[in-house]
């Protein structure tokens, strides 16, 4: 590739020989100055695909930056991602002259303000703190030449759409813009159309196959019985010889809080992590989870690509995701570093269409687990996809199948609070 010699030297020392698919497609286009709409997951080499061309441009055309200004702005949704991107720029650019700083919340602003006084080549920032410093007139975006919007799907999930639009409005018209997201939902494409100018498009969506070492199960269960099935799974996990960590995924922030509270009330140690939590709260919860002090983490999809913990043995999709690609991201939180993992998904009546979309994109049927006390045969019959799903049998029939009935057995009573109504159903937590 037509990269400057210092960059090639670093890549050689890092033993980067063959570019990843996203790098092979994106770098030549970016070296030509094209705007780019990229669909690529974390872990595909995405950061290098935009950092290398930007560093190349800075090296080939060195300029003195004015006070409070930057040549390149990379906008990231979280402090953790901003730090990761900053480290990548430092690594790849170690043999060229450039200045960089990071701006994010959760820490004092004085060092960030000081770093911007003389201007920088590369500024990596999160939206909230960046807007704070702009309003205080510590940052000026009028000289930005390269704009990167990274992890856009997470950005929108965390409620940063308005902030992103405010920042984009402050940028000059003439610039090279790069837009990266793991998914390209309609709202993401709509945002891209307002930012990009005649963009090249690079899509490195893998064949949405799931990791071979992850055992997948699907449970048809009425929504009112999901909590009791979850408690049963967590009880088995806690009783296992090598108890591992569990991530429970829910579609909404409010729902994640509700699940964590219900589990805690039932004797489990659980915490929720989502976009409404402060940076400090998310970091604290994640640290305790990694240490095993909180064995159950309840998360929205904001954490689906942000949690990389090798000891996660169980992922539970309490709610099926309405974006089918998110299913692969979610269950990929287990079975990491070659370890085995289990991913169990609950499907209620209002989620059958989501299930069809997921099985269509992964080109497979998720094996059905019917041997539990809350299996709904009626829901299984409603699901018709053209696949002939295999049935998972476990432990010699520990539960019982019911022709659409969702009443629990005595095992359920021991794993949760809540009372049965006259129909035999428990109320949802």
3-state secondary structure labels for all residues of 249-293: ECCCHHHHHHHHHHHHHCCCCEEEECCCCCHHHHHHHHHHHHHCC
pTM over 0.85: no
Torsion angle in degrees (nearest 10) through CA of 245, 248, 252, 254: -70
Beta strands in 260-382 (DSSP E): 270-273, 296-299, 312-317, 341-347, 368-369
Q: At what angle do helices 46-60 and 5-13 cross, to 10 degrees?
A: 150
pLDDT of residue 303: 56
pLDDT digits (tens, 9 = 90+) for 61-83: 998 899 999 999 999 988 888 99
pLDDT of residue 205: 59
Could you give the CA distance from residue 143 to residue 71 in angstroms, rounded to a whole number?
6
pLDDT of residue 115: 95
**Would the CATH topology of 5-204 be identical to that of 214-415?**
yes
pLDDT of residue 182: 77
pLDDT of residue 146: 97
- 3-class secondary structure, 315: strand
All residues at 6 or more sequence positions from 159 whose CB lies less than 8 Å from its CB, including other chains: 275, 276
Please give the helix or strand (H or E) that residue 362 lies within, else none: helix 352-362
pLDDT of residue 206: 53
pLDDT of residue 49: 94
pLDDT digits (tens, 9 = 90+) for 150-198: 988 878 877 888 999 999 999 999 999 999 887 777 788 888 888 999 9
Q: Tokens 């043995």, residue?
A: 313
What residues does each domain of the chain span? 5-204, 214-415
pLDDT of residue 158: 75
Determine contact, residues 154/305, Cβ cutoff 8 Å: yes
What's the CATH code, domain 5-204? Answer: 3.40.50.300
pLDDT of residue 286: 84
Could you give the CA distance from residue 255 to residue 324 in angstroms, rounded to a whole number?
19
Instruction: Output the six-digit token pair for 94.
Output: 């170690």
State how beta strands 312-317 and 200-204 pair. unpaired
Residue-by-residue pLDDT tens, the chain, 429 positions: 899 999 999 999 999 888 988 899 999 999 999 999 988 766 678 899 999 999 999 999 998 899 999 999 999 988 888 998 999 999 999 999 999 999 998 889 999 999 999 999 999 999 999 999 999 999 999 999 999 999 888 788 778 889 999 999 999 999 999 998 877 777 888 888 889 999 999 887 554 555 567 899 999 999 999 999 999 999 988 887 666 899 999 988 899 999 999 999 999 999 998 877 776 787 788 889 988 899 999 998 765 555 667 788 899 999 999 888 788 878 888 876 556 789 999 999 999 999 999 998 888 899 999 989 999 988 888 875 444 444 554 443 333 333 333 333 333 333 333 333 333 333 333
pLDDT of residue 308: 66
- 3-class secondary structure, 326: helix
Query: Which option is the CATH number for 214-415: 3.40.50.300, 2.60.260.20, 3.40.50.10860, 1.10.10.10?
Result: 3.40.50.300
**Cα-to-chain-centroid distance, residue 58:** 31
pLDDT of residue 408: 36
Could you give the CA distance from residue 193 to residue 171 in angstroms, rounded to a whole number?
16
* N-to-C CA span, the chain: 57
């Amino acid at each position: 590739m037509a990269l400057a010699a210092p960059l090639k030297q670093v890549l050689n020392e890092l033993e980067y020989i063959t570019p990843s698919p996203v790098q092979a497609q994106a770098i030549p286009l970016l070296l030509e100055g094209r705007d780019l709409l990229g669909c690529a997951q974390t872990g595909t080499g995405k950061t290098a695909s935009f950092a290398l061309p930007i560093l190349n441009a800075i090296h080939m055309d060195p300029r003195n930056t004015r006070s409070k200004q930057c040549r390149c702005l990379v906008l990231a949704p979280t402090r953790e991602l901003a730090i990761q991107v900053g480290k990548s720029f430092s690594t790849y650019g170690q043999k060229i002259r450039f200045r960089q700083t990071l701006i994010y919340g959760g820490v004092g602003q004085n060092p960030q303000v000081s770093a911007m006084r003389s201007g920088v080549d590369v500024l990596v920032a999160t939206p909230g703190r960046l807007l704070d410093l702009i309003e205080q007139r510590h940052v000026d975006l009028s000289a930005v030449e390269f704009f990167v919007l990274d992890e856009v799907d997470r950005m929108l999930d965390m409620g940063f759409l308005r902030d992103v639009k405010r920042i984009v409005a402050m940028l000059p018209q003439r610039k090279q813009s790069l837009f990266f997201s793991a998914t390209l939902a309609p709202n993401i494409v709509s945002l891209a159309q307002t930012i990009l100018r005649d963009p090249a498009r690079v899509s490195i969506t893998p064949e949405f196959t799931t990791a071979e070492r992850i055992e997948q199960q699907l449970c048809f269960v009425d929504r009112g019985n999901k909590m009791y099935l979850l408690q049963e799974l967590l009880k088995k996990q806690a009783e296992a010889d090598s108890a591992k960590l569990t991530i429970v995924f829910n579609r909404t922030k409010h729902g994640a809080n509700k699940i964590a509270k219900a589990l805690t009330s039932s004797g489990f140690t659980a915490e929720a992590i989502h976009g409404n939590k402060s940076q400090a709260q998310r970091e604290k919860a994640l640290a305790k989870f990694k240490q095993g002090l909180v064995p159950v983490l309840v998360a929205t999809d904001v954490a689906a690509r942000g949690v990389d913990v090798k000891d996660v043995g169980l992922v539970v999709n309490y709610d099926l995701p309405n974006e089918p690609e998110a299913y692969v991201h979610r269950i990929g939180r287990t079975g990491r570093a070659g370890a085995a993992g289990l991913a169990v998904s609950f499907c209620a009546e209002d989620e059958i269409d989501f299930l069809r979309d997921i099985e269509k994109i992964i080109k497979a049927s998720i094996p059905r687990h019917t041997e539990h006390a809350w299996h709904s045969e009626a829901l299984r019959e409603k699901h018709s996809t053209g696949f002939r799903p295999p049935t998972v049998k476990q432990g010699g029939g520990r539960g019982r199948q019911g022709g659409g009935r969702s009443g629990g057995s005595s095992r359920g009573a021991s794993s949760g609070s809540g009372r049965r109504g006259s129909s035999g159903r428990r109320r949802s937590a």
